[in-house]
Amino acid sequence: MSVFTVLNPATEEPVTTVTQPCAEETDSAIAGAAAALPGWRAVAPGDRARMLRAFAAAVDSAQEELAGLEVAGSGHPVGAARWEAGQVRDVLLYYSAAPERLSGRQIPVAGGLNVTFHEPVGVVGLIVPWNFPMPILSWGMAPALAAGCTVVAKPAEATPLTAMRIAALAREAGLPPGVFTVLPGKGSVVGQRLVDHPAVRKIVFTGSTEVGRSIMADCARQVKRLTLELGGKSANIVFADCDLERAAATAPYAVFDNAGQDCCARSRILVQRSVLEAFMALLEPAVRSVVVGDPASAATEMGPLISAAHRSHVASFVPEGAPVAFRGHAPSGPGFWYPPTVLAPVRPDDPAYTEEVFGPVVTVTPFSDEAEAISLANDTPYGLSGSIWTSDVGRAIRVARAVETGNLSVNSHSSVRYWTPFGGFKQSGLGRELGPDAPDAFTEAKNVFISTEGS
């Protein structure tokens, strides 16, 4: 057992301390989840649905409290934090409809029929990063519970507070002990134990590609089911025929949301050369007007970075002499602040252009035609998200089909809708979360033949 101090990223002051379990305590929690599994999977579908709705109602009642914890413990602007708590409620409500819809199939065969059942995969280990502690927790937790699995979740070490409160709300709402457990702690201890423990039958991991790769290798040893939601380096492609004002006005929010600590951040803006100058002239005031400051203020659009170490990492992408085109504001004094920063022109091998920064730094690169835009957008090992700005419907569809990413928006910077599938191509991940089929990924299809021949 060890003790971790949660810091307020906006003030650098301690918020609270959290006791972290060791590997043996992790084993006990996994045993508790395994013991709860037979009872939870046997709950009648309608009753499981009602319990998930009660859980959603408890989250709804605690929305302000949860938002306050995320403001203090993660530095999220309060407007965003309220939305994130609301997302947990909405995801639970959406998947509360799933237990009654987990239908199998009936397949005609000679001499009888085959039926398929969706059996819960078992205990699920859910490993969550620090950038969106509430939504990402809910994306794994809700469909897994709906499918009849029990869940042991590990929030990121730095941001455990909302997940811990959500686990308490689950109990208050009537979920039986062991059905949903949150273990704050280190990835190398609690997370690794979830990956290694044979009673955990599926891992849902969201985090860096580097850690995801090693978890995938560890899961392979047990042929353990796995979903990976990993890094991104997404392109925001701006064609000359688009509504340039709108494209420029929204571009900062496509990358500086959550201070750029967003897997879907469109951190490479690709602009058709003929409108590059006009676009930059529109982008500059948009970037300078992003409201960066006290996360507790309703007017704030961008808060601090998560930690001093992460700020140093982000700053390393903007060394002395970097091609800074313009920057927004950031408070001085305590807090892990970093200003919205636009780099242009950048070399194709500049790490700010090729690597995931996970901070408020964006590059702008010109292209000549559609083919070059697609080629630049795809020239990355990642493939998570992206945007296409054009008034030509045919081009929008052509480019959307050609860009190798899992989630694209046309004339919009939006990324995730919980009722549509979400996940990455290439090294951005494996499998899809969310959408109507997500509970299926927490089940195994069992195929049973029933003879209709007389004895």
* Interface contacts to ligand TAP, rule CB under 6 A: 127-132, 136, 154, 156-157, 186-188, 191-192, 195, 206-208, 211, 215, 229-232, 263, 356, 358, 384, 424, 429
Q: Which is nearer to ligand TAP, 137 or 248 (CB)?
A: 137
Give the DSSP H/E element, type plus range, for residue 302.
none
CB burial of residue 398 (10 Å; 0-12, 13-18, 19+): middle
Q: Which is nearer to ligand TAP, 204 or 242 (CB)?
A: 204
Largest CA distance in the chain: 86
Going from the C-alpha of 88 to that of each of 26, 45, 56, 81, 140, the distances in angstroms are 25, 21, 7, 11, 11
What phi, psi does 437 have (nearest 5°)? Answer: -90, 0
Tell the smallest beta-carbon distance from residue 106 to ligand TAP (Å). Answer: 35
Q: Hey, CA dihedral for 102, 127, 38, 116, is it positive or negative? A: positive
Q: How many CB atoms lie within 10 A of CB 109?
A: 11
Q: Which is nearer to ligand TAP, 85 or 134 (CB)?
A: 134
Tell the smallest beta-carbon distance from residue 167 to ligand TAP (Å). Answer: 15
148: left (phi over 0), alpha (psi -120 to 50) or beta: left
- To the query of whether residue 263 is one of the catalytic residues in this protein, the response is yes
Catalytic residue, chosen from 157, 229, 301, 356, is 229
Q: Which is nearer to ligand TAP, 102 or 255 (CB)?
A: 255
Q: Is 60 helix (H, G, I), strand (E, B) or coil?
A: helix
d(C-alpha 426, C-alpha 83), whole Å: 30
The closest alpha carbon to 259, from 150, 428, 132, belongs to 132
Tell the smallest beta-carbon distance from residue 153 to ligand TAP (Å). Answer: 10
Q: Which is nearer to ligand TAP, 87 or 206 (CB)?
A: 206
Catalytic residue, chosen from 84, 263, 264, 433, is 263
What residues are annotated to the active site?
A: 229, 263
